[in-house]
Amino acid sequence: ASAFIWDALAAAWLLDTGFVTKYETQNLEVDTTFGKNYGQTRVSKKPEPTPVQVMLDLDFPRLFALYKGLLTM
């Protein structure tokens, strides 16, 4: 089984940034035009992009220990 945990991942990062073992800064933008790509995140081509840190690798045991601990409080 698999599941997407994007929102939980972002919330966990706010509690413990240490589980991110690799990241890089990229200039991203979010498509805010209503349509099939609404909400899509992509590399920005704008002249003044917004730099953000993108998580590339995680300490999964540490992340899931935090996740499980918060779900079973």
Cβ neighbourhood burial of 28 (10 Å; 0-12, 13-18, 19+): middle
pTM greater than 0.85: no
Closest to 64 measured CA to CA, from 21, 5, 24: 5
**Average pLDDT of span 59-73:** 90
Note the pLDDT tens digit of each residue in 4-54. 777 888 889 999 999 999 999 999 998 999 999 998 988 888 888 889 899
Instruction: Report d(CA 42, CA 12) in Å as an integer.
Output: 23
Q: What is the pLDDT of residue 1?
A: 59
The pLDDT value recorded for residue 71 is: 82
